[in-house]
Amino acid sequence: MHYSNILFDLDGTLTDPREGITRSVQYALSKLGIDEPDLTALEHFIGPPLLQCFMATYALDEATGWQAVNHYRERFRVTGLYENRVFDGVEALLEALIAQGRTLYIATSKPTVFAEEIARHFGFDRYFKRIYGSELDGTRTNKVELLAHLLESERLEPGSALMIGDRKHDLIGARSNGLHAAAVGYGFGSREELAGEAPAYHFDTLVQLHEAFSR
């Protein structure tokens, strides 16, 4: 693990946002007259860009998809942000990486304003040089664009950085920008989804991920 710059996805990689995201999606759907009582049926919303997920899942046009996103944000910015928890072992991993002299970043499809508040509220913002997310208008929700923006802004060589994430979007974004990627199996992407993108590394648990940086 020679990488001097480590890029972390947020949802499903650093935190478990299951309750906040699924309840906010459920709220948004109810505003559109769609009843979805089963929160587990909404877990696939964790990770991908929200607009595309609403449109694809419920066959919405773009205008209605944006209505859903805005309803989602009504609840998420007030309540859903905090219905979240940091995975056990994350802080120990981040402390170890900092002690090794590595520079850490967050790269998430979530709007930067929400990602920054989550990191601040749960107390792990201090580990990261900068948090890169999307804009509220949808700019850079695509991980390919987001990582390209991060690399350019920070003037990072792709070979110096590793992207860590739990969904295929993280791995596709990394590969498209010449980065190696580490898939983590404790988040919300299935083994089949992650293996299909042929990441350089796959760690089933946070313990395995931490151990890889300890060798």
The residues carrying an active-site annotation are 9
Cβ contacts of residue 202 below 8 Å, gap of 6+? Answer: 182, 183, 184, 185, 194, 195
Q: Which segments of 96-215 are extended strands (E)?
A: 103-111, 130-134, 161-165, 180-184, 201-203
Residue with tokens 């850079």, as numbered in its chain: 140
In whole angstroms, give the CA distance from residue 89 to residue 214: 14
Query: What whole-number distance in Å separates Cα of residue 198 and Cα of residue 51?
Result: 26
SS3 46: coil
Q: DSSP characters for 29-43?
A: HHHTT-----GGGGG
